[in-house]
Amino acid sequence: MSQQSLFKVKAGKPKSLTNNPTHYCAGCEHGTLTKLIAAAIDELGIREKTVMIDSVGCSVLAYNYLNCDHVVAAHGRAPAVATGVKRLRPELNVFTVQGDGDAVSIGLLELIYAAKRATPITVFLVNNGIYGMTGGQMAPTTLPGQITTTTPYGRDVALTGTELDASKLISQIDGAAYVKRVSLVVTEISNPKGNVYTIKNLLDAKKTVQNAFKVQALGGFAFVEFLSTCSVNWKMSVLEAKRRVNEQVIKRFPLGVYRDTYGVEKA
Amino acid sequence: MTNQRVYLKGNEALAYGALEAGLNAYFAYPITPSSEIPETLAKEFGNKKYPHYKCFLQSASELEAINMVIGAASTGALVLTATSSPGFSLKQEGLSYAACMELPFLVADICRAGPGLGNLGPEQSDYFQATKGGGHGDYRLFVLAPASVQEMASFPKIGFDLAFKYRNPALILGDAFTGQLKEDIEFPIGTTPDYDVSSWAVGDSKGRGQHILNSLELDYQKHYQHMGRVFEKYKTAEEKEVLYEDYLTEDAETVIIAFGIVSRIARGVVNTLRKKGIRVGLFRPITLWPFPKIALRKLASEGKQFLDVELNTGQMYEDVRLAVGDGVTVDFLGRWGGILPTEQEIERKVQRLEVVAV
């Protein structure tokens, strides 16, 4: 398979990335997303006009990695903080990276109302089906039967219900202009010479990050959900975790464009 | 330009006072008895008289509102939100974060009777929550206690000045009475604020390093140093920003201590008793934090005795006790449940002061 370059930026890292090493665990897609965001900010030339709202969860230290202004929000409140920044400074590019516990559990009201008011902000949701930062507890996105530290015998649907589909939910809200679920997980191609991976998902994710910023610039609320792994808390190898997403998680959280008011996908 | 006289409700006056102080944004969640504040500011949104007033937004919850305030204040804007006691509890999360992030903004708590839903009458029972931090962690808010509609109009400016000078949230602690009371006041003259926010506000980062507004610091030493700096600010404020009112205390044998609406009643008591030849005065803390402890201690050192009157069971009493020191008589009269003490009740108490000198 031919080598595809993920970043058009010629050499090295995107300018919007700092030189700090990240704290992300090996195999975690948070680092990938951070780099995709930095590349998109570079390519759109909006670094100096970008304010990131850091959410509580594994993305909370993003101010160490993304070279722009940051406001660090309380758990779940990032869309409200983003709303405050954006209403006062509509010309800024305001975005947040939330985890599933942050966005879909404790901060669901803030997320829904930011969408409902068609707030021109961009919300990236990293869905790894678990509370990662706190050590692997059940998240709203935890799949039925999945073992976590608070569902040690598997998620009991009779007691805690099934997983919550954030993209489907937000796509029902009229104020949302762009809702899409993509995957940050590379996929394997069977090959007699051994494991070969394709970054098809990452290329789509990269384009989607750009689209999500473009939608904001057009005046719309953009929401992108990224399927990702948490091999440490899933108690799996990195490879097993990636296979789990590609084989199981993706069936419960199908990829696709759920809403595209401005038609940025076709552009 | 001469000040215009207007007849306003306390809550309306607070809204206009904020607008005249240069308000940029208001984030609203309705709750009685503070709702005239968002209603007034909704009505005035778009008024060409206030070109600086850029945003009025009703939130879906008190939590959402205070976090919108945090976002808006992060841009260096002048931001206000108002609430009433049950809503003030919900604001505490945001206030704790903002104190650590060193964010300036203004909150008004038009206190009603509590705890729980309580009722819609006046109480001063949020005193502890207002003056001792209120949320988690070690921090303080500037707390201003207006006693009149005139002060409801003039305190937003003082609150914004303190908030921006020290980069810390400020609070106007009113009550159902000062909020609902209608009085003839001098309308405040508009001022153009010139707070320098260039060293911290987020926005255009061209030609400078990152601005990061954050309450997270995983390095214990760095957090120790950061909060040490915040505590130094509080120490400076305790020395420099104390406000109080002294009324006929110089020759007084008994000094009534009261804040907010109670001080209005107490003033009447002082006037009545003075006519009878009883030497009584009034000491009224205006900043509840920083508390005027040095001024009170001075009065105590002159051998005066005190009667503390509050709309609660004695929350400020603890600060008064600490201020005056041991061996000083400080009696207490409290009313709660939305009920105000009458002048006669306070008069009787002044004349039969119990020697409570722990």
End-to-end CA distance of chain B: 53
pLDDT at B193 over 70: yes
Confidence of residue A10 (pLDDT cuts 50, 70, 90): low
Residue of A nearest to B25 (CA): A88
Distances (CA, A) of B321 to A121, B65, B234, B296, B314: 51, 36, 21, 10, 10
Please determine, for residue A8, whether its predicted confidence score (pLDDT) is greater than 80. Answer: no
Tens of pLDDT, residues A16-46: 999 999 999 999 999 999 999 999 999 999 9
pLDDT confidence bin for B191, thresholds 50/70/90 = confident
pTM over 0.80: yes
Residue B35, pLDDT > 70, answer: yes
- The answer on pLDDT for A126 being more than 80 is yes
| Three-state secondary-structure class, residue A223 | strand
Confidence band (pLDDT; 50, 70, 90) for A2? very low
Provide the token pair at B173: 């602690």
Reduced to 3 states (helix: H, G, I; strand: E, B; else coil), residue B144 is strand
Is the pLDDT confidence value at A9 over 50? no
Judged by average pLDDT, the poorest of A123-127, A194-198, B59-63, B104-108 is A194-198
CA distance to partner chain B, nearest, from residue A123 (Å): 15
pLDDT band at B358 (very low <50, low <70, confident <90, very high): low
Judged against a pLDDT cut of 90, whether residue B3 lies above it is answered with: no
Q: Is the pLDDT of residue B63 over 90?
A: yes
Residue contact A81–B67, C-beta within 8 A: yes
pLDDT score recorded for residue B161:
98
Which residue in the block uniquely carries the two structure tokens 């600490």?
Answer: B322
Query: From A94, which residue of chain B is nearest by alpha-carbon distance?
Result: B203
Q: State whether B212 and A92 contact (CB < 8 Å).
A: no
Chosen from A88, A111, A173 to mutate, greatest number of chain B CBs within 10 A: A88
Q: Given this model, what pLDDT does residue B16 score?
A: 97
| Interface touch B74/A84, C-beta < 8 Å | yes
Interchain CB distance below 8 Å, B214 and A63 = yes
- The pLDDT of residue A12 is 74
**The pLDDT of residue B2:** 57
| Minimum Cα–Cα distance from B215: chain A residue | A72
H-type helices in chain B, by residue range? 10-20, 36-44, 62-74, 85-101, 127-131, 149-166, 176-180, 220-240, 261-275, 293-301, 315-324, 343-351
pLDDT value at residue B357: 54
Distance CA A79, CA A177 (A): 15
B72 at A interface, C-beta within 8 A? yes
Residue B234 has pLDDT above 80, yes or no: yes
* Predicted pLDDT of residue B1: 46
What pLDDT is stored for residue A5 in this prediction? Answer: 52
Q: How far is CA B106 from CA B160, B204, B229, B287, in A?
A: 6, 24, 21, 14
> Predicted confidence band at A214 (pLDDT cuts at 50, 70, 90)?
very high
Predicted local distance difference test score (pLDDT) of residue A1: 38
**Which residues from chain B sit within 8 angstroms of residue A73, using beta carbons?**
67, 70, 97
- Chain A residues with a Cβ under 8 Å from any Cβ in chain B: 47-51, 53-54, 60-61, 63, 67-74, 77, 80-89, 92, 109-110, 112-113, 117
Tell me the shortest Cα–Cα distance from B54 to chain A, in angstroms: 7
| Distance, CA of B29 to CA of B60 (rounded, Å) | 7
The per-residue pLDDT for A220 is 98
pLDDT tens for each residue of B205-215: 999 999 999 99
Instruction: Compute the distance between CA of residue A79 and CA of residue B114 in angstroms, rounded to an integer.
Output: 31
Please report, to the nearest 10 degrees, the dihedral formed by the alpha carbons of residues B64, B211, A47, A97 taken in order: -40
In what helix (H) or strand (E) does residue A37 lie, and over which residues does it extend? helix A30-44
- Of B112, B118, B119, B172, give the one whose Cα is nearest residue B148: B172
Q: Treating both helix axes as pointing N-terminal to C-terminal, what angle do B220-240 and B149-166 enclose, rounded to 10 degrees?
A: 140
In tens, the pLDDT along A153-192 reads 999 999 999 999 999 999 999 999 999 999 999 998 877 7
Q: Which residues on chain B are in Cβ contact (under 8 Å) with A48?
A: 204-206
